[in-house]
Amino acid sequence: MKKRRVVITGLGVISSIGIGKDEFWSNLVKGKSGISRIESFDTSNLPNNYGGEVKEFNAEKFINKHKINLLGRSSQLAIAATKLAISDAGIKKGYFDISNVGTCIGTTMGENQILNILNRDWLIKGLALVREEFLSEYPNNIIASNLGIEFGLKDSNLMFPTACAAGNYSIGYSLDLIKNSGVNCMIAGGVDSISIVAFVGFSRLYAMAPEKCQPFDKNRKGMMLGEGSAILVLESLESALKRKANIYAEVLGYGLSCDAHHMTQPNEEGVSKCMIKAMDEAGIGIDDVDYISAHGTGTPQNDKTEAAAIKEVFGKRYKKIPVSSIKSMLGHTMGAAAAIEAVACCLSLKDGILPPTINYETPDPECDIDCIPNKARKQKVDIVLNNSCAFGGNNACLVLRKYYD
């Protein structure tokens, strides 16, 4: 059976620098920072007080107000991003048989604000007085389930809890389902909301910078925690052409690897293998890559390792490939990160603009890649790699290409 080509026709994003792809992209290209002082919980006793909160989000604009209290913030963000993506794709109600449309969502923390409430009530009131429904509202799978219920989707309904690489995992698996099965359309992406549970956890790992994220800078001090959601509409090329949809990009392939090296530290060999696998599946070589969207967390070890992996894979050409980290603006949105970066890659392919790595001040000899410092760059782009690396050594690399007839 001939495998179907798969394209991206809709983009929805909720982020600290914009809600909706247009506001998000405009601010990304301008190099706007979404980092501000945390307001949703008290950080006064913590060494870090800043993050990428989404402060302009109003759930009632997207969700019936009677349902909002039944949903955690991550589900709210994911539903809102999905509505934006479906609208952007121009999918009319009833166009698809809803039994032939699936959801595939990635996350790190799941409904972690529910966990925060559960922990607080347990400590203050005791276990006997914790509301039982909290236990059913917490598991990661509840986010995909809530999406399925909200939109009446009855095909594949999946969650990938592969942490910071989960967005690429969800897009890659959606590609497989459309290419190799009867699924016509997939709602794919990632989501995570910021909470004191996540904030304290990353703070205790000593992985967070005090005020700003500086990927690939010699004096980088760590990541900034963020939140958000990005959803992409993937469908077969035949379906997209039939309904004359706007096509942002074609998904050529993806690669996965697991370092099996360390719980939190990345491994050069694992990241290199991931990029090579992705390019092999996509049928491209190192000379075909025009841009790399880096994982680029701003931690000393991650950036050093990712830069070394890029050098290993691309050899003498590594300085000629533009590489940038939009986490410098958004912070690390955990399970949403790779999906938000995939949205940025689609828009780079569409507009021929590469987003910058802001806060870049001092070159690091160990990270001597072209990191597009501080200002966006206009450039013809045909093929991009989207790198993501997660705790536990879970790596995923996505290959996107500008769509041509």
**Domains of the chain (ranges, CATH numbers):** 6-242 (3.40.47.10), 253-401 (3.40.47.10)
Q: Can you give the pLDDT at residue 81? A: 98
Please work out, in degrees rounded to the nearest 5, the angle formed at the alpha carbon of residue 69 by the alpha carbons of 68 and 74. Answer: 65
List C-alpha distances in Å: 275 to 83, 152, 231, 317, 384: 32, 36, 23, 15, 11
What's the average model confidence in pLDDT over 76-98?
89
What's the average model confidence in pLDDT over 73-101?
88
Cα 226 off chain centre by:
11
Q: Is 372 left (phi over 0), alpha (psi -120 to 50) or beta?
A: left
179 has a pLDDT exceeding 60: yes
Q: Can you give the pLDDT at residue 193? A: 94
Tokens 């603009």 found at: 353
Q: Can you give the pLDDT at residue 71? A: 87
Query: Which residues, at least 6 apart from 99, have a Cβ–Cβ distance to it below 8 Å?
Result: 154, 155
Q: Can you give the pLDDT at residue 1? A: 53
Query: Of the given ranges (201-210, 268-277, 278-287, 320-329), which has the lowest mean pLDDT?
Result: 201-210
| Other C-beta atoms lying within 10 Å of the C-beta of residue 56 | 11
Tokens 């969650």 found at: 159
Tens digits of residue pLDDT in 321-363: 999 999 999 999 999 999 999 999 999 999 999 999 999 999 9
pLDDT bin (cut points 50, 70, 90) of residue 136 is low
Among 301, 306, 322, which Cα is nearest to 271's?
306
Q: What are phi and psi of 18, to 5 degrees?
A: 165, 150
201 has a pLDDT exceeding 80: yes
Q: Can you give the pLDDT at residue 314? A: 98
265 has a pLDDT exceeding 90: no
pLDDT bin (cut points 50, 70, 90) of residue 231 is very high
State the virtual CA torsion across 315, 293, 270, 215 in degrees, nearest 10. Answer: 90
**Count, residues in the chain:** 405
382 has a pLDDT exceeding 80: yes
Query: Which residues, at least 6 apart from 121, have a Cβ–Cβ distance to it below 8 Å?
Result: 129, 130, 131, 134
Q: Can you give the pLDDT at residue 114? A: 66
Query: Of the given ranges (43-47, 115-119, 222-226), which has the lowest mean pLDDT?
Result: 115-119
Q: Are the beta carbons of 178 and 115 closer than 8 angstroms?
A: no
pLDDT bin (cut points 50, 70, 90) of residue 403 is very high
Q: Active-site residue numbers?
A: 164, 295, 332
Q: Average pLDDT of the chain?
A: 92
